[in-house]
């Protein structure tokens, strides 16, 4: 395996400056994401503990089709698969609807998070990516084991911002009535 950086490379904050040579593709309160190659990106974490939480989730999820492939990691960074495509947030903003197929794919994705062993069976719509083949990948797993979510609160909240939560729930009622009834306990 070719390594981009040594495991302790980012222990020296001065070394973070080398990331300025790569395109910044995302940032938030926990870190920054840089595109390294056509199929790899690097997530740099401000806190070592946050990196460890996300790394643990990625490692456990490596056999899953909804988790990005892990290539390399250190104390403050993770190199993972760069997902070519668009976020679910951008998709619903553009399309203004959710197809039955996409609703089914989301339901399967949530089931997959449960199957992996995550205690958080939910994701924000900006963290659900639809790749060029139409497959879903989920990013940002730092709370995969520290939060408990048996109902997709964040997903529905995001869909509701675009007026699509009811449409999604009605499709789930049609596709999987027992899941819909289970979710009713939390609504």
Let me know if 185 is exposed, middle or buried by CB neighbors in 10 A (0-12, 13-18, 19+): exposed
**What are the tens digits of pLDDT across the range 120-148?**
999 999 999 999 999 999 999 999 998 88
User: % helix / strand / coil in the chain, to the nearest 5?
Assistant: 45, 20, 35
Q: Please list the residues that pair with 78 across neighbouring strands.
A: 43, 73
The topology (CATH level 3) of 9-81 is: Phosphorylase Kinase; domain 1 (3.30.200)
DSSP conformational letter for 12:
S
Query: Does the pLDDT value for residue 19 go beyond 80?
Result: yes
Note the pTM of the prediction, 2 decimals: 0.90
Task: Determine phi and psi for 6, rounding to 5 degrees.
Answer: -75, 160
Over range 134-163, report the average pLDDT: 92
Question: What confidence category does residue 60 fall into, taking pLDDT thresholds of 50, 70 and 90?
Answer: very high
Query: Does the pLDDT value for residue 186 go beyond 90?
Result: no
Beta pairing, strands 24-27 & 70-73: unpaired
DSSP string, 20-66: GGS-EEEE-SSEEEEE-SSSEEEEEESSHHHHHHHHHHHHHTTTSTT
- Say which residue, 151 or 125, is predicted with more confidence: 125
What's the order of all strands across the beta sheet hosting 136-138?
85-87, 128-131, 136-138
82 and 111 in contact (C-beta within 8 Å)?
no
Task: Determine phi and psi for 25, rounding to 5 degrees.
Answer: -115, -5
pLDDT of residue 6: 67
User: Which token pair is 174?
Assistant: 């049609």
């Amino acid at each position: 395996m070719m390594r981009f950086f040594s495991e302790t490379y980012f222990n020296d904050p001065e070394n973070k400056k080398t990331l300025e040579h790569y395109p910044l593709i995302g940032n938030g309160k926990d870190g920054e994401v840089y595109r390294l190659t056509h199929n790899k990106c690097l997530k740099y974490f401000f806190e070592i503990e946050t990196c460890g939480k996300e790394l643990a989730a990625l490692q456990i999820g490596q056999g899953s089709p909804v988790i990005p492939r892990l290539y390399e990691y250190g104390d403050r960074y993770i190199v993972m698969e760069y997902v070519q495509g668009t976020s679910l947030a951008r998709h619903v903003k553009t399309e203004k609807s959710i197809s039955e197929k996409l609703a089914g794919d989301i339901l399967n994705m949530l089931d997959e998070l449960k199957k992996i062993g995550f205690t958080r069976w939910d994701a924000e719509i900006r963290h659900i990516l639809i790749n060029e083949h139409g497959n879903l990948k989920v990013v940002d797993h730092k709370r995969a084991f520290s939060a408990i979510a048996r109902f997709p609160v964040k997903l529905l909240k995001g869909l509701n911002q675009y007026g699509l939560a009811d449409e999604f729930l009605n499709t789930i009622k049609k596709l999987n009535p027992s899941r819909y009834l289970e979710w009713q306990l939390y609504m």
